Amino acid sequence: MIATTRSLQRKGLQPKTVERHPPSLIVAASVDWLYDLAMSNPESPAKRPLRRPLLAPDSLPELSSAIEGVDETVWVEVIRKMDEVYNDLLQYEVVLEQKNAALEDSQQFIESVLASMSDILIVCNRHGAIQEVNDSLCRFIGQDETVLRGQALCDLFADTASQQRARDFFSPARPATVQDCELLICGRDGSPLPVSLNCTPRLSGTGKLVGMVLTGRPVGELRRAYHALRQAHDDLKRTQQQLLQAEKMASLGRLVAGVAHELNNPISFVLGNVLALRRYTARLQTYLQAIHSDLCTRSTQLEDLRQELRIDRILADLPPLLDGMSEGAERTRDIVDGLKRFTAIDRSAAEPFNLAEVVARAVRWVARADPRNFRVTIDLPQELPVVGSSGQMQQVLMNLVQNARDACSSGESPSLEISAEQCDGMIRVHFADNGPGITPENLSRLFDPFFTTKPIGQGTGLGLSISYGIVERHGGRLEAANREEGGARFTLTLPLAKAEATRTLVHGPQS
């Protein structure tokens, strides 16, 4: 093998490149080595150099005369060397077959990938001639792959502008960068069809530009997908609105008992006072008629009637009765106004309001709606000015208070502490209960729609999800965590109102 390698090197071949040359060349090198061996024998009768090449027909007699008188041991060495050459040839053949099989597998893999692509694929050289296409393009334009190969890329496009843009892809003045465009390609029936294309430079192993690769898909398909996505988004928004209203109605249902109690008290004041006024009115009418009649001609009779009808007491009771009616009517009006704010649907009507008042109102309503023992401690500043919808924020706060009440219901002394802190123009309101807390697996899913830890029939799984969206639309955050001492803590973070909004909240709008 060493002699064969030297012969190959003498022919200008390196050992690493032997496997790329045919066996005939290797055999020629071996015969050449045999010639050198014969000429180096001092007893060889050959007195003149042989003519090259040795494998020529007229060189055989010279080779025969050159090897006459060669010792037998030399022939044994020649046979051994020829066996080595033959073994090397077999190894080269095995390696060559393996590489051919790998090359065939690689080629089949590339062809299967190209055939499986749903997008259009076009491979061009640097002059704009098509070298390779996939089946998607052939089906799209109705032409065979063999017809397209060698054709100019610009011939695929339907209008002059698209053809010129395709030529610009290969312009030497244009940098070899990725380009996106929308061009018109001639379809199967010859009609122009819009296609979104991505043109990417194709480089050689040395980094030299050798062509371009174009991929794309019909724009009509993208537009249909976008339309379907937009339709799904609109449906999702409508569903969200319906869920918001459903949760709001569920919250209102929980408030019916408390609101009924609130309304019954002032209405009772009004009705009771009205009945008393009716009795007093009848007595006053009798007394006034007696004054103007002939029956009471003397002052003693008038005084007796005055005492009998208790006119003085009636006159003393009239101001408190009227005050009670006025107070009851005002309380009823306040409750109705609160309900209006709570059920407000207009999200765009953002106005400044005092968050501390909304917190107090939410706690009061939840407490009256649920008669169970539940101690709530509120430690808030008197003024917490924020901007947004007070009705929506009341829905969030009522949901947090109600959830804390439900979570602590199994404890001996359920309680909720509400505190606040201000930092960097934000207000953080903490709702800390002494319940069992939240398990780690539930903590990550707490704000997911339809997720609830309550028994079936006691929760919709939408309250915290909707509350999270409301707070997010107000520019804030709603977070949940477990307390080290036990229980859960919900933190509501909202941006504080600016100075102008604060003045509007305190003094009213300036005219």
**pLDDT tens-digit profile of 250-271?**
666 556 555 666 676 677 777 7
Residues near 126 by beta carbon (within 8 Å), at least 6 away in sequence: 170, 209, 210, 211, 212
Residues near 250 by beta carbon (within 8 Å), at least 6 away in sequence: 460, 462, 463
**Segment 351-369 mean pLDDT:** 86
Residue located via tokens 């009765």: 321
Instruction: Spell out the domains of the chain, with CATH numbers in brackets.
Output: 2-113 (no CATH), 117-223 (3.30.450.20), 230-341 (no CATH), 346-507 (3.30.565.10)
Q: Does residue 102 carry a pLDDT above 50? A: yes
> Across all residues in the chain, what is the average pLDDT?
76
Q: Does residue 460 carry a pLDDT above 50? A: yes
Question: What is the structure's pLDDT at 340?
Answer: 58
Residue located via tokens 């004041």: 269
Contact assessment for residue 366 and residue 401, using Cβ atoms and an 8 Å cutoff: yes
Q: Does residue 240 carry a pLDDT above 80? A: no
**Segment 69-74 mean pLDDT:** 68
Tell me which of 326 and 366 has the higher pLDDT: 366
**What is the value of pTM for the model shown?**
0.39
Buried b (16+ CB within 10 A) or exposed e, 196-227: bbebebeeeeeeeeebbebbbbbbeeeeeeee
Question: What is the structure's pLDDT at 285?
Answer: 75
Question: What is the structure's pLDDT at 511?
Answer: 39
The partner residues of 123 in beta bridges, in order of sequence, read 132, 213
Task: Tell me how far apart the alpha carbons of residues 409 and 403 are, in angstroms, rounded to a whole number.
Answer: 10
Question: What is the structure's pLDDT at 335?
Answer: 65
Tell me which of 315 and 503 has the higher pLDDT: 315
Question: What is the structure's pLDDT at 48?
Answer: 43
Tell me which of 273 and 261 has the higher pLDDT: 273
Weakest mean pLDDT among 14-18, 229-233, 286-290: 14-18
Question: What is the structure's pLDDT at 15?
Answer: 47
Task: Tell me how far apart the alpha carbons of residues 23 and 279 are, in angstroms, rounded to a whole number.
Answer: 132
The pLDDT-based confidence of 246 (bands split at 50, 70, 90) is low
Q: Which of 19-33, 72-86, 441-455 has the highest mean pLDDT?
A: 72-86
What Cα–Cα distance (Å) separates residue 362 from each residue in 88, 355, 359, 432, 502? 93, 10, 5, 16, 22
Contact assessment for residue 220 and residue 197, using Cβ atoms and an 8 Å cutoff: no
**Segment 435-440 mean pLDDT:** 86
Weakest mean pLDDT among 409-413, 455-459, 483-487: 455-459
Element (H, E) at 148: helix 145-148
Task: Tell me how far apart the alpha carbons of residues 10 and 3 are, in angstroms, rounded to a whole number.
Answer: 10
Question: What is the structure's pLDDT at 61?
Answer: 60
Question: What is the structure's pLDDT at 495?
Answer: 92
Question: What is the structure's pLDDT at 356?
Answer: 92
Contact assessment for residue 421 and residue 388, using Cβ atoms and an 8 Å cutoff: no
Q: Does residue 450 carry a pLDDT above 80? A: no
Weakest mean pLDDT among 14-23, 57-66, 219-228, 413-422: 14-23
**Segment 300-324 mean pLDDT:** 76
Question: What is the structure's pLDDT at 448?
Answer: 76
DSSP 179-246: EEEEEEEE-TTS-EEEEEEEEEEEE-TTS-EEEEEEEEEEHHHHHHHHHHHHHHHHHHHHHHHHHHHH
Q: How many CB atoms lie within 10 A of CB 249?
A: 10
Question: What is the structure's pLDDT at 248?
Answer: 64
DSSP state at residue 119: S
Three-class SS string for 234-247? HHHHHHHHHHHHHH
**pLDDT tens-digit profile of 204-229?**
888 888 889 999 888 877 777 888 88
Contact assessment for residue 388 and residue 350, using Cβ atoms and an 8 Å cutoff: yes
Question: What is the structure's pLDDT at 430?
Answer: 94
Question: What is the structure's pLDDT at 427?
Answer: 93
Tell me which of 81 and 281 has the higher pLDDT: 81
Question: What is the structure's pLDDT at 19?
Answer: 47
Task: Tell me how far apart the alpha carbons of residues 449 and 463 are, in angstroms, rounded to a whole number.
Answer: 8
The single-letter code of the amino acid at 38 is A
Task: Tell me how far apart the alpha carbons of residues 69 and 271 are, in angstroms, rounded to a whole number.
Answer: 147
Q: Does residue 429 carry a pLDDT above 90? A: yes
Contact assessment for residue 449 and residue 442, using Cβ atoms and an 8 Å cutoff: no
Question: What is the structure's pLDDT at 492?
Answer: 94
Q: Does residue 77 carry a pLDDT above 90? A: no
How many CA atoms, within 13 angstroms, populate the side-chain half-sphere of residue 269? 18
The partner residues of 112 in beta bridges, in order of sequence, read none
Question: What is the structure's pLDDT at 12?
Answer: 47
Contact assessment for residue 369 and residue 254, using Cβ atoms and an 8 Å cutoff: yes
Question: What is the structure's pLDDT at 345?
Answer: 46
Question: What is the structure's pLDDT at 510?
Answer: 47
Q: Does residue 503 carry a pLDDT above 60? A: no
